[in-house]
């Protein structure tokens, strides 16, 4: 497949954290990695489980794209620094960062524990702080700027009984906007994608009844499910030259679910 030059991604280098998925499933990170590869970018696919990252790389390579797999734990500063250096060492520059790593939680502030609070905030927020902390100087040094996309959640905008998760995803939005303001003069753009009820391996691997899936489908104005491809397409757009004048924004990819009344997670 010939890369589409209109994206302005040919020869650029992207890191996609959380870029693996179970089997051949299409999660948000895997979809973004494949679409970036199709657009001509070199993609470092990062996952703690190297086998999952390698499968994504194989899918990119099967289409003629350029990618490499790496195992790093982005909850650790040293791993984030090594991840960035890995991409620069392989391809000489760093242009794009797509942050997908995250975990869920369920309960109110009364129900939840301090341990869960610390864990969710560490995985959902601190990882993005650390990856951006190390990626931004490399982008400025090697490419004269770059673009970052952080994955938030509709739960940040419409809480529904997932309190700590909602707070963490709200923090992702605030972090993204702060980065956009702080580093815009350095040529860095930072934006958020805010997914709704996407049908991805992370969701269905935990088990889902037909009734629950139908409830999720009906939660959007469009009355259909989103998939990892929908998130990947939004990420590719925001990382591309098509979005050269867009920064500090939150792009909802939710089928219009935020236009409807919330339903609690227990419903």
How far, in Å, CA of 84 to CA of 134, rounded? 7
Using N-to-C axis directions, what is the helix angle for 163-183 and 127-143, rounded to 10°?
20
Instruction: Please report where in the chains the tokens 């982008």 appear, as a residue.
Output: 139
Phi/psi at 26 (nearest 5 deg)?
-110, 95
Residue of 165, 199, 204, 245 with catalytic role: 165
How far, in Å, CA of 266 to CA of 263, rounded? 8
With a CB cutoff of 8 Å and minimum separation 6, the contacts of 128 are 99, 101, 150, 172, 175
Q: Is 245 a catalytic residue?
A: no
- Compute CA distances 194 → 5, 7, 182, whole Å: 27, 21, 21
Tokens of 160: 């529904």
How far, in Å, CA of 228 to CA of 166, rounded? 20
DSSP 37-72: HHTT-EEEEE-SSHHHHHHHHHHHHTTT-EEEEE--
Say if CB 22 and CB 53 are below 8 A apart.
Answer: no
Q: Which residues are tagged catalytic?
A: 165
């Amino acid at each position: 497949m010939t890369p589409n030059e209109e994206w302005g991604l040919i020869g650029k280098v992207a890191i996609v954290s959380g870029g693996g998925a179970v089997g051949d499933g299409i999660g948000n990170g895997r979809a973004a990695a494949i679409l970036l590869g199709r657009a001509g970018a070199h993609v470092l696919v990062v996952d703690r489980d190297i086998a999952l990252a390698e499968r994504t790389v194989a899918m990119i390579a099967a289409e003629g794209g350029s990618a490499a797999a790496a195992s790093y734990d982005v909850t650790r500063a040293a791993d984030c620094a090594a991840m960035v250096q890995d991409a620069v060492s392989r391809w000489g520059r760093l242009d794009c960062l797509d942050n997908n790593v995250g975990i869920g939680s369920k309960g109110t502030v009364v129900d939840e524990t301090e341990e869960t609070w610390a864990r969710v905030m560490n995985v959902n927020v601190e990882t993005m702080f650390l990856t951006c902390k190390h990626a931004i100087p490399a982008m400025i040094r090697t490419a004269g700027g770059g673009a970052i996309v952080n994955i938030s959640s509709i739960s940040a905008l419409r809480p529904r009984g997932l309190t700590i998760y909602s707070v963490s995803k709200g923090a992702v939005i605030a972090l993204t906007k702060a980065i956009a303001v702080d580093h815009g003069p350095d040529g860095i753009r930072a934006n958020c994608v805010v997914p709704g009820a996407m049908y991805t391996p992370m969701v269905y691997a935990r088990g889902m009844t037909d009734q629950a899936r139908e409830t999720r489908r009906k939660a959007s104005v469009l009355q259909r499910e989103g998939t990892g491809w929908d998130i990947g397409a939004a990420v590719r757009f925001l990382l591309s030259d098509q979005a050269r004048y867009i920064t500090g924004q939150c792009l909802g990819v939710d089928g219009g679910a935020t236009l409807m009344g919330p339903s609690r997670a227990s419903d």
